[in-house]
Amino acid sequence: MDMTQNEACKLHQDWSFILQEQDAQALLQHACDEFAYDLYHPVFQFQHSE
């Protein structure tokens, strides 16, 4: 598969435009820091409640 046609890949034309002049690694780290707790807290809470 041509990775420039895969919308999940940063090589895709849309992502290249969105990420131009930005550090993709820093954006990913920020998203993980910002949203990881809210996303995974219910999972951990459920696991420890039994």
| Chain-centroid distance, C-alpha 25 | 10
Could you give the CA distance from residue 13 to residue 41 in angstroms, rounded to a whole number? 34
For the segment 8-26, what is each residue's pLDDT rounded down to a tens digit? 887 888 887 777 888 878 9
Containing H/E element for 26? helix 24-48
- Residue extents of the structural domains in the chain: 23-50
d(CA 25, CA 27) in angstroms, rounded, equals: 5
pLDDT given for residue 3 in this prediction? 81
What pTM does this model have? 0.47
Q: Contact at 8 Å (CB) between 33 and 27? A: no
How many CB atoms are located within 10 Å of the residue 10 CB? 13
| pLDDT tens digits along 25-45 | 898 899 999 999 999 998 888
